[in-house]
Amino acid sequence: MVQIYNDYKDHADFLTVYVREAHPTDEWQMKSNVKDDVCYAQPKTLEQRVVIANDFIKRFKFPLPFGIDDMSNGAVNAYSAWPERIYIVDESGRIAYRGGMGPFNYKPAEARTWLAARYGEVKHEAPAATPSQAPAAQAAPASPPTPAAATSTK
C-alpha cells in the first residue's frame, strides 16, 4: 500500500486504521510474530492501541495517515475490516471499491487498478522516509466508523 499511496496521494486521500491485534500474545500468537519481534497482548484500552500503532509507525517508518478504531470496534463492524481490507470511498461518501477480506483476498493491486482507471497510471519514486516523517497515530472518531485501509477521492 505504501507504493500505491506514494503514486496516488496527489489524487486521493488515504487512511490506514489499526483495528485490533490479529495474533496477540494472549490469544493466537504465531511463530512469525516472535521471529519479527511483534508481540503484543490484545489491547484492552484505546491508549494501549495508540501505543501499539505508534510503535508500528515508528518501527516501519509508515508514511500513510493512520487512525485507530475505537474499542467498540466500529470500523471492524461497519466494514468487515479484520484482519485487513481495502475500501475506496468516492467524493459522495459511497463505497466505490470494496476489496476482499484478508489475508487471502487482500489484493492491493486491485485497488491500484481502480485508481489507475480513475486517474491514469501514476508512478512516483518511493521517497526514503525518516523517523521525523512518520505521523503519530491518533484515535479515530467513534462515529462515523472509518474504513480499515481506505482512500477517498479528492
Q: What is the mean pLDDT of residues 125-154?
A: 48
How much is the pLDDT for 150? 47
Asked if residue 138 has pLDDT above 60, the reply is no
Quick one: CA torsion of 25, 26, 27, 29, rounded to 10 degrees?
10
This prediction's pTM: 0.70
Asked if residue 34 has pLDDT above 80, the reply is no
Whole-number Å distance between alpha carbons of 97 and 73: 21
How much is the pLDDT for 130? 52
